[in-house]
Amino acid sequence: MNPSHTASWGILNRRDFPRLLDALRTQGYRIIGPTLQDGAVKWGDIATVDDFPVGWRDHQSPGHYRLERTESFRYFDIVHGAESFKPLTFAPRETLLVLERTHKTFVATPILPDPEPLAVLGVRACDLAGLAIQDRIFLHGPYADPYYRARRDRLFIIAVQCTRALDTCFCASMGTGPQATAGFDLALIEGDADFVVQTGSEEGARLAQHLSLHPVPPERLRQEEIRMAACAASQTRSIDQSALPRALYDAHDHERWDDVARRCLACTNCTMVCPTCFCHGVEEQPDLMWTRSERARVWDSCFTPDHGYIHGKNLRPTIKDRYRMWLTHKLAAWIDQFGMSGCVGCGRCLTWCPVGIDLTEEIKELIRSRQASGS
């Protein structure tokens, strides 16, 4: 995506929406978007516009997720499911190498993912913020990851702007949403009868030429800005980042960790649904003859007992240690490591926590009493 691109706007009539799919397919893209599969929202193939979950909306709160039937004919009423954008670029399981024994030695062959062009339609601002964080980690460190790169480079991204926040959303306080401002090829705002289409890259602008867009009255753009601002204003949760990272480092011995440890099950859900968590382990799978072996990286979580294991001891034996590791990394150490918070405010870890632990509450307690005690 080209940062020097100058955005332009146009209106796509609702009945012309299928043209977008046609244009993408003509360009050789496989298209995926939010779909309903076995009662859950997941990225799935979009063959026609009817594959979008029309007539459904989601309600989320800590420990709860509910899909509700509506009369609406909008395509993008569901905000998001458990699955973030992350699996599309950082695969839950990625084969890295195949090693084969030869006469006396062995050969290691990298297995790079298929670079099939992929258009993703229905990406939220928090997803894009998560993607930017993962780019920072996998592409802009001392070693660029060729597997991530291959999955990343094939993408065409179509964002959908948020005009309704969930009870769990706090992107506004994290500065990541609800409006996507960069990182997309095209962005859509869904109205009752049409979409406002914004270009975000040269590729996006080229594709938009196939859509017979109408000019947007300036008044309409102002209305949409107001809708998105209202969405931001409706968010009730927030994280005050002004004292981070220091405040959380200083809270190492806070009693709140004991409190949250009594509730946390160390189930790893929060890390699996998080769009930014990047921990992984490597699995080795030799064949029976021990002549061929595959190495694959697999998502791991700092909540597992093995995560902090070194021979003879576990550095984080208790759930308290692990929850503290997670939150301190996410909201504090991440800033030192990557120059940005590890949380984009998507709220997934609240929703998918079986006991409804809400990190915005935890951080408030951890920082509030610190201020009270004046340390």
Partner 1 sequence: MNMESAISPPMNPFVIHPAVIKEKRQEAPEIVTFRLQLEDPAIRKQFRFEPGQFNMVYAFGVGEVAISIVSDPDHPRELDHTIRIVGRTTDVIGRMQPGDRLGIRGPFGKGWPMEEAKGSDILIVTGGLGCAPVVGAIEYIFRRRENYGMMNILHGVKAPHDLLYRERFDAWRAHPRTHVWLTSDEPGKTWHYHVGVVTELFDRVQFDPNHTFVMMCGPEIMMRVASHLLSQRGLTPDRMYVSLERHMACGIGLCGHCQLGPYFICKDGPVMRLDRILPWLGKSGI
Ligand X SMILES: Cc1cc2nc3c(=O)[nH]c(=O)nc-3n(C[C@H](O)[C@H](O)[C@H](O)COP(=O)(O)OP(=O)(O)OC[C@H]3O[C@@H](n4cnc5c(N)ncnc54)[C@H](O)[C@@H]3O)c2cc1C
Report if residue 327 touches ligand SF4, rule: CB under 6 A. Answer: no
Q: Measured from the CB atom, is 252 or 368 closer to partner 1?
A: 252
Closest CB 313 distance from ligand X, rounded Å: 9
Residues 43-82 that bind ligand SF4 (CB under 6 A): none
The gap between the terminal CA atoms of the chain, to the nearest Å, is 45
Closest CB 17 distance from ligand X, rounded Å: 50
Q: Greatest CA separation found in the chain?
A: 74
Closest CB 353 distance from ligand SF4, rounded Å: 3
By the 8 A CB rule, do 49 and 62 touch? no
Judged by CB under 6 A, which of 268, 328, 363, 367 binds ligand SF4? 268
Q: Measured from the CB atom, is 12 or 248 closer to ligand SF4?
A: 248
CA distances from 354 to 196, 224, 357 (A): 38, 36, 8
Q: Measured from the CB atom, is 75 or 147 closer to partner 1?
A: 147
Positions touching ligand X (CB under 6 A) are 309-311
Q: What are phi and psi of 191, to 5 degrees?
A: -105, -175
By the 8 A CB rule, do 78 and 53 touch? yes
By the 8 A CB rule, do 201 and 5 touch? yes
Q: Measured from the CB atom, is 14 or 136 closer to partner 1?
A: 136
Closest CB 175 distance from partner 1, rounded Å: 21
Say how far apart CA 330 and CA 163 lie, in whole Å: 27
Report if residue 213 touches ligand SF4, rule: CB under 6 A. Answer: no
**Which listed option, ligand X, ligand SF4, partner 1, none, makes contact with residue 79 (CB within 5 to 8 Å by class)?**
none
By the 8 A CB rule, do 171 and 234 touch? no
Closest CB 90 distance from ligand SF4, rounded Å: 14
Report if residue 269 touches ligand SF4, rule: CB under 6 A. Answer: yes
Closest CB 67 distance from partner 1, rounded Å: 33
By the 8 A CB rule, do 284 and 95 touch? no
Q: What are phi and psi of 338, to 5 degrees?
A: -125, 0
The token duo for 27 is 């360009």
**Which listed option, ligand SF4, partner 1, ligand X, none, makes contact with residue 330 (CB within 5 to 8 Å by class)?**
ligand SF4
By the 8 A CB rule, do 348 and 82 touch? yes
Amino acid at 286: P
Positions touching partner 1 (CB under 8 A) are 95-97, 99, 101, 104-114, 137-138, 141-143, 145-147, 245, 249, 252, 278-282, 284, 286, 290, 293, 295, 297, 300, 302, 306-312, 315-318, 320-321, 324-325, 329, 332-333, 336-337
Say how far apart CA 367 and CA 363 lie, in whole Å: 6
Residue of 323, 329, 291 whose CA lies nearest to 304:
323
Contact residues for ligand SF4 (CB under 6 A)? 264-270, 273-276, 303, 330, 343-349, 353-355, 357, 359
